[in-house]
């Protein structure tokens, strides 16, 4: 074989290898994204659940204390926040984060949840599990039932804490879906966004601070949960909200504590750059014109204020107007008479009130009569014809009676 043929063959083999590697990369990446060092990651639109970019997003992996997100989800469904419970005995592993609760110590469910999320406390997870379901085993079964109900097909739990254990795993995309559901709960969103909290149910009260450094790195960061074990590596479920755009990031098995935060920050900032702000409605924009009863004419209804939405280049904006077809005075200028709702790709993004663009006085008696006639022309015409016919018949009857009387006199 000549050198030229050998060279050509090597070039073909090299090209095939490049194509294979590109194909594999495309299999894992939904779209281009920033450089991320974690082994598995995802970035999701928190409003729609749409995946903006991911790598090995459906791969089942150990998730460490990100497990506690489902612990919080189940506990908040089963237990009222104000309930006072007694801390359960807990044997924690070396290096594990805990609140340091004494067995039998009274504490509120809400304060346990703050300890669970801000400190990643294993003793808080244990107490919540037992008080919620009666035992850790039953609580874990409940966790798995909720995972199935949420469609988390790459998720299974073996404990409520997140310790490395066979059968305790999830994926980046499943964690993003769970977080999206959790963020719909106002009480959880408040907990996840807290930089610090005073636990007033403890005696004496105790102040705790979050170990989620992402919340300290950006003012728009809103959560959510850290995780780390030797086998799982460094894990972080992050979230942020900027100009009405809500994003959720997940990084699993980052090489260091610092990179899980820098990876998450890179993902979220990249995600925000994919959106632009568009003024969907302008203040004073006419969106409806109901007719004015009695006096006639129309009353323009306009947007009470402007509304901007965040969207990407491929998304569509729709406006749905809810306004009356007819109005009647008196109506003051600026009175609210309807609503305009803006949707992005079919999902509600915001709404504005529709207000009267001018004053409409009360209708006078003449206007009401005229309006009534204008609104009921056919029935009134029929009634007028009936009255006229009745009058004619009555007149004819009267004339007959009079003629009869004249004949009698003769």
Cα 31-55-156 angle, rounded to 5 deg: 135
- Range of lowest pLDDT (106-120, 143-157, 201-215, 337-351): 337-351
Query: What does the chain come to in residues?
Result: 410
Residues 243, 128 share a domain: yes
Q: Judge if 249 and 303 occupy the same domain.
A: no
Set 40, 54, 68, 197: catalytic member: 68
**Which of 120, 64, 7, 399 lies closest to 251 in space, CA to CA?**
64
Question: Both tokens of residue 287?
Answer: 């969106």
Determine which one of 40, 54, 65, 295 is catalytic: 65
Looking at the fold, whether 252 and 311 belong to one and the same domain comes out as no
User: What region, left, alpha or beta, does residue 128 occupy, with left being phi > 0 and alpha being psi -120 to 50 degrees?
Assistant: alpha
Query: Of the candidates 356, 371, 388, which is a domain's last residue?
Result: 356
Q: Is 247 exposed, middle or buried (0-12, 13-18, 19+ CB in 10 A)?
A: buried
CATH number of the domain that residue 150 is part of: 3.40.710.10
Mean pLDDT across the chain:
89
Kindly state whether residues 210 and 225 are assigned to the same domain: yes
- In a domain, residue 394? The reply is no
Domain co-membership, 60 together with 177: yes
User: Could you tell me which residues are beta bridge partners of residue 241?
Assistant: 246
Q: What percent of the chain has pLDDT over 70?
A: 87
CA distances from 69 to 116, 130, 195, 237, 256 (A): 9, 16, 17, 9, 22
Alpha helices (H) along 184-226: 186-192, 214-217
Reply yes or no on whether 397 is catalytic. no
Task: Output the CA–CA distances (angstroms, integers) from residue 250 to 88, 155, 182, 215, in the order listed.
Answer: 31, 15, 14, 15
Tens digit of each residue's pLDDT (9 = 90 or more) over 107-143: 999 999 999 999 999 999 999 999 999 999 999 999 9
Domain closes at, from 251, 274, 297: 274
Angle between helical axes of 68-78 and 136-149 (0-180°, round to 10): 100
Same-domain status, 288 and 220: no
Structure-block tokens of residue 103? 């067995």
Whether 387 shows a pLDDT value over 60: the answer reads yes
Same domain for 250 and 153?
yes
Q: What is the mean pLDDT of residues 2-9?
A: 45
241 and 347 both lie in a single domain:
no
Residues 289 and 251 in one domain: no
DSSP 101: P
In a domain, 345, yes or no: yes
- 119: nearest Cα among 26, 197, 179, 44: 197
Q: What value does the mean pLDDT take over residues 262-266? A: 97
65 annotated active-site: yes
Q: Which domain holds residue 351?
A: 278-356
Based on the residue annotation, tell me whether 108 is a catalytic residue of this protein: no
Q: Which residue has the tokens 């963020």?
A: 183
Sign of the alpha-carbon dihedral angle for 39, 43, 46, 47: negative
Is residue 349 included in any domain, yes or no? yes
257 plus 292 within the same structural domain: no
Catalytic pick among 40, 54, 97, 120: 120
Q: What is the CA radius of gyration of the chain?
A: 35
d(CA 299, CA 391): 42
Distance (Å, whole) CA 283 – CA 305: 4
Instruction: Out of 313-317, 336-340, 368-372, give the one with best mean pLDDT.
Output: 336-340
Nearest Cα to Cα of residue 66 among 133, 134, 164, 189: 164
Same domain, 217 and 304: no
Kindly state whether residue 185 falls inside one of the protein's structural domains. yes
Question: Which of 332, 356, 380 is the C-terminal boundary of a domain?
Answer: 356
- Does residue 8 form part of some domain? no
Does residue 123 share a domain with residue 242? yes
Tokens 């090489």 belong to which residue?
255
Is 47 contained in some domain?
Answer: yes
């Amino acid at each position: 074989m000549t050198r030229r043929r050998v060279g050509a063959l090597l070039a073909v083999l090299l090209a095939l290898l490049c194509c294979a590697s590109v194909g594999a990369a495309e299999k894992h990446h939904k779209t281009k994204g920033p450089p991320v060092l974690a082994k598995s990651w995802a970035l999701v639109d928190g409003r729609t659940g749409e995946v903006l970019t991911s790598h090995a997003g459906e791969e089942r992996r150990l998730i460490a204390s990100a497990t506690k997100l489902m612990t919080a989800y189940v506990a908040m469904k089963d237990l009222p926040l104000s309930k006072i419970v007694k801390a359960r005995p807990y044997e924690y592993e070396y290096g594990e984060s805990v609140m340091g609760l004494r067995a039998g110590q009274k504490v509120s469910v809400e304060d346990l949840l703050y300890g669970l999320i801000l400190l990643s406390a294993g003793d808080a997870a244990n107490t919540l599990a037992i008080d919620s379901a009666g035992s850790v085993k039953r609580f874990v079964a409940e966790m798995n039932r909720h995972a199935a109900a949420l469609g988390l097909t790459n998720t299974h739990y073996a404990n409520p804490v997140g310790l490395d254990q066979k059968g305790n795993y999830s994926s980046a995309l499943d964690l993003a879906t769970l977080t999206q559901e959790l963020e719909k709960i106002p009480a959880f969103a408040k907990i996840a966004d807290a930089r610090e909290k005073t636990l007033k149910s403890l005696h004496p009260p105790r102040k705790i601070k979050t170990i989620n450094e992402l919340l300290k790195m950006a003012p728009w960061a809103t959560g959510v949960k850290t995780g780390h074990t030797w086998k799982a590596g460094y894990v972080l479920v992050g979230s942020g909200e900027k100009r009405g755009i809500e994003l959720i990031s997940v990084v699993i098995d980052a090489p260091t504590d610092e990179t899980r935060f820098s990876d998450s920050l890179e993902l979220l900032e990249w995600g925000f750059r994919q959106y632009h702000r568009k003024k969907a409605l302008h203040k004073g924009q006419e969106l409806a014109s109901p007719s004015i009863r009695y006096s006639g004419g129309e009353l323009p209804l306009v947007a009470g204020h402007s509304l901007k939405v965040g969207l990407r280049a491929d998304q569509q904006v729709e406006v749905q107007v809810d306004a009356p077809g007819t109005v009647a005075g008196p109506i003051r200028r600026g009175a609210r008479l309807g609503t305009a709702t803006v949707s992005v790709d079919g999902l509600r993004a915001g709404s504005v009130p529709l207000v009267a663009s001018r004053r409409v006085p009360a209708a006078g008696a003449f206007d009401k009569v005229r309006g009534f006639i204008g609104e009921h022309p056919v029935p009134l015409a029929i009634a007028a014809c009936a009255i006229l016919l009745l009058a004619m018949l009555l007149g004819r009857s009267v004339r007959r009676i009079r003629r009869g009387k004249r004949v009698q006199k003769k």
